[in-house]
Amino acid sequence: MPASKPVRTSESLANVKYEIRGNLARRALELSRKGYEIISLNIGNPALFGFRTPETMRLAMIENFPDSEGYCHQKGIFPAREAIVMQQQGRGVSGVTAEDVFIGNGVSELIDIALRALLNEGDEVLVPSPDYPLWTAAVNLNRGKAVHYPCRPERDFVPDPQEIESLITPRTRAIVIVNPNNPTGAVYPREVLTAIARLAERRGLVLLCDEIYDQITYDGAEFVPMATLAHDTVCVTMSGLSKVYRACGYRVGWAIVSGDVAAAKDFISAMELLASLRLCSNVPGQWAVQTALGGYQSIRELTSPGGRLYESRKAIVDSVERNPSLRLRAPAGALYAFVGVGDDLPGFDDQTFALDLLEKKHVLVAPGVSFNVPYNTHFRITNLPDASTLRTVFNRMGELLDDYRANAGARA
């Protein structure tokens, strides 16, 4: 037989990465299969740590299974879209109807649809750094160029609108806002969001707003929906069931087009065409939307003092404060902490640290470079485990960092 030729992959993947589920996660799976117990803190997956979707949502799905066996409308079932509109109106967003709402297989699919509907070859999108890496990947996959605007640690990871504006070129089409932020947990102040909204209106840019953690905030931090501030440009707000309602596996997300909807007519039509090509999103999960948005918001118990997410976050903050080598801007929202190291560990490399932590201490974290930052001094963990587990994690980290300091001293 002639020698087989390797299958060539698409060149469009050259600048695409998603290290959260990359080599480290694959190595963790290998170790798990060998019998090691790995504490996996690399992904915000509530079910992995014992969280349950509210029972009322599960019952809503079960009761509507007979109506879930066929395709639905490409934008989603009407009761779900209408519930999303009502939520937006309750937040002060005006002028949206069910026709402006798209339901997708998670926000991930809708990010791809929105960017595919928007971008031409070489168009630029301003993306935060650090970012949720799907945004950078999706821009690149859809023929665009991700231009990263810095969210600096010294600014508590809050962007500077003037820095964003300095990066705008004639090819810029959109600004991505992730608020509350993944990976940093920053919740952006109203004045910053207002300045970005005015900037987008002034420069004719689309706002792409990832607000999947919209109800997960701590210690009174105020979440401000961008759609309440942006009126004279197109604003696309994305959220879903996965985080607030602990329903990642349902794969139900939504996108709402608001603001200058008249200017978005062709864009909405393009999104609908792309939604039609995939026929429709998961139907059973959509029946949980109306119940979720209109029912009791149990997330508030979890994020209040005494609640599990609050206490886990506190365990992270307290553990970092006790370790002389670690630094943290306390997360005001979301499900993560973006932990940095101090100057007492020269030469620290986040990828090496993450691999050592996995191999030696059986803890899996995501290196900071996974989130498109130009430095290698941070790593991300989730606060989904209980407080006791997180204290154990930081004890193991402390042991490894002690070894680093000892080795650095020996070399000196």
Instruction: Give 83-106 pLDDT, tens digit per residue.
Output: 999 999 999 998 899 999 999 999
124 bridge partner residues: 145, 172
Q: What's the CATH architecture for 55-294?
A: 3-Layer(aba) Sandwich (3.40)
Instruction: Tally Cβ neighbours within 10 Å of residue 352.
Output: 13
208 bridge partner residues: 176, 236
6: confidence class by pLDDT, cuts 50, 70, 90: confident
Residue spans of beta strands (DSSP E) within 229-270: 234-240, 253-259
212 neighbors 242 (Cβ within 8 angstroms): yes
Residue 15's pLDDT is 75
Q: What's the alpha-carbon Rg for the chain, to the nearest Å? A: 22
Name the nearest CA neighbour of 223 among 295, 297, 319: 297
Per-residue pLDDT reduced to its tens digit, 291-301: 999 999 999 99
Residue 100 phi/psi, 5° resolution?
A: -95, 10
Domain range list for the chain: 11-52+301-411, 55-294
Residue 347's pLDDT is 87
For 3, the token pair is: 């020698």
Average pLDDT of the chain is 94
Q: How far is CA 52 from the centre of its chain?
A: 20
Q: Which burial class, exposed, middle or buried, applies to 65 when counting CB atoms under 10 A from its CB (0-12, 13-18, 19+)?
A: exposed
Name the nearest CA neighbour of 326 among 339, 313, 312: 339
Single-letter amino acid code for the residue at 209: C
Domain 11-52+301-411 coded CATH 3.40.50.720? no
409: confidence class by pLDDT, cuts 50, 70, 90: low
